[in-house]
Amino acid sequence: MYNIPVIKPRYKAGLFFIFFSSLLYYLSFPNVIFKHGLWILAYFFAVPLFFSLDRKKLLDRVWIGVIFGILSYSFVCCWLYPVSIIGGLSFVVILSIQPVLFCIFYDSRKDNVLASVVIASLWVLSEYLRAILLQGFSWNIGYTQSFNIPVIQISDVTGSYGVVFFIILLNASIYHIIKKQRVRFHIGLIFISTVFVISYGSSAVSPAIPEDDRPVKVALIQGNIDQEKKWDEAFVDEIMSTYEDLSLEASKEQPELVIWPETAMPGYWMSDDELRPRLEHLLKKIDATLLFGTAVVELENNYNSAVLMAKDGHIRGVYSKIHLVPFAEIIRPKLLEGVLRDKLGFKVGSYTNGGRKVVFDFDRDFGVVICSEDFYPGLIRKLVDNGSRFVINITNDARISASSAPVLHLQASILRAVENRIPVIRCANSGPSCFIDDLGNIKSPVERHEKRLNIAGYSVESVGFRARKAVYTRKGDIFSLCCVIIFIVSEAVQILSSRVNL
């Protein structure tokens, strides 16, 4: 008879804790059940994870990190699989590096009065290391609080990592309270940290700093173009007519700047002799400057670009996307691109990375980021530090508009606005398109019958500006570096004390 392996009760409990923690993590983000996510769950998601790590050896902690990471991000990133199965799986594996790093260095046996602070610092450290590995791409548990306006205000000093620290600090304190370790201290820690964060948020929100410049009137055009039509020459006139009609309708409110979304132009604008005259004719009618997304060909290279066209038809600036989406816009190495496209029939992109950041010269200088580039806080911070008074995100989430992904994407723009204390304007093909003020409030979304996704429409809003440059804009991720120092010092103290005891 063969011996059937039996999972021991303690391992069953551990697996249950990991699964429960992953589920709470998923539900705290926007998901298929709760449109905007249940942000309150973020303050409890890690408690089961900490119990699963309790008194575990290094190898066990590694496996816990792997299982938690794969489960959590498989849930959160489920919307990626219809776009690219390989890309989705790769993204899940890469994102899982963070919980693995955290679990490797986590040590529950350190009965330290500041254990919760050290745990929170370690989580920030692991998030920060992953962002460095991903060349600046940042997507962390702090994003769950994007609609919790008072809490995210600390981001103008700490970046999103300050929100991460606060979330994990509360998780760790709850864990220690349940374990009956320094209960009064951890209750006090929860109370003091919460009062501080909420007080800071309240003071940032009110009273408002008066606007220092004349506002700029901006129109967002949401075309809601079907992806199956987008690159079909038979639908060029239909697509252009959609954007032209909406722009003409919006022009009745006399906007100074009209924005079309990512790759709105149905073709390669620079090499199409019919599109430019058509745009010049439209600009005379709407009497406004136009920013539009388009594919651009230069020296056999394809770029995903944003073009600023003045009322007189002159080009005032071009920005080409720097951070392309792997397996959707770019494949490396090139050999793999050929295999996926030619042998397996995958629809993969073939764009080239843009070379530089661009601040557009307008009545108020502004920067543009395309699609997922608002997940790169360093990119937007540098644009603002170089003079951008506001930032525009043009995007096309049409392929994933039936999922929670568009709202997940919106969360990034909200945090970038608060971090740098600037307005962020989102113009999406299928939504949500909206204006976000420097406090993270959503204003004037494109909507119809309370619906913001998968509709065509426009919105016009006067965008105001305030005379302040955030600490985060000036200093960058200094808070994250402080967390790194806290963790390193705690490790050094632990090592020295253990040697002294010997």
- The conformation of residue 373, written as its DSSP 8-state character, comes to G
What per-residue confidence (pLDDT) applies to 1? 46
- Alpha carbons 436 and 208: distance in angstroms, whole number: 15
For the full predicted model, state whether its pTM sits above 0.85: yes
Locate tokens 């600023």: which residue? 308
Locate tokens 């080409």: which residue? 320
- Alpha carbons 447 and 461: distance in angstroms, whole number: 14
- Alpha carbons 135 and 121: distance in angstroms, whole number: 21
Residues forming a β-bridge with 458: 221
> Dihedral of CA 115/116/118/123: which sign?
positive
Dump pLDDT digits (tens) for 261-312: 999 998 777 666 788 888 989 999 999 999 999 988 887 788 999 999 999 8
Residue 369 identity (one-letter amino acid) = V
CB 371 within 8 Å of CB 395? yes
Query: Which CATH number applies to 216-322+357-467: 3.30.565.10, 3.40.640.10, 3.60.110.10, 3.30.420.10?
Result: 3.60.110.10
Query: If 0-12 CB within 10 Å is exposed, 13-18 middle and 19+ buried, where does residue 21 land?
Result: buried
Residues present in the chain in total: 502
Can you give 303-369 as a three-state secondary structure string?
Answer: EEEEEEECCCCCEEEEEECCCCCECCCECCCHHHHHHHHHHCCCCCCCCCCCCCCCEECCCCCEEEE
Query: If 0-12 CB within 10 Å is exposed, 13-18 middle and 19+ buried, where does residue 277 land?
Result: exposed
Q: What is the CA radius of gyration of the chain?
A: 24
Dump pLDDT digits (tens) for 316-343: 999 999 998 876 677 655 545 555 555 4
- The conformation of residue 208, written as its DSSP 8-state character, comes to P
- Alpha carbons 115 and 319: distance in angstroms, whole number: 46
What per-residue confidence (pLDDT) applies to 6? 44
User: Which regions of the chain are under pLDDT 50?
Assistant: 1-2, 4, 6-7, 335, 343-345
| Residue 64: other Cβ atoms inside 10 A | 25
Name 360's Cβ contacts closer than 8 Å, sequence gap at least 6: 291, 308, 316, 317, 319, 366, 367, 368
Name 57's Cβ contacts closer than 8 Å, sequence gap at least 6: none
CA distances from 233 to 136, 154, 197, 272 (A): 37, 48, 53, 12
Both tokens of 301, joined, read 């290279």
CB 466 within 8 Å of CB 212? yes
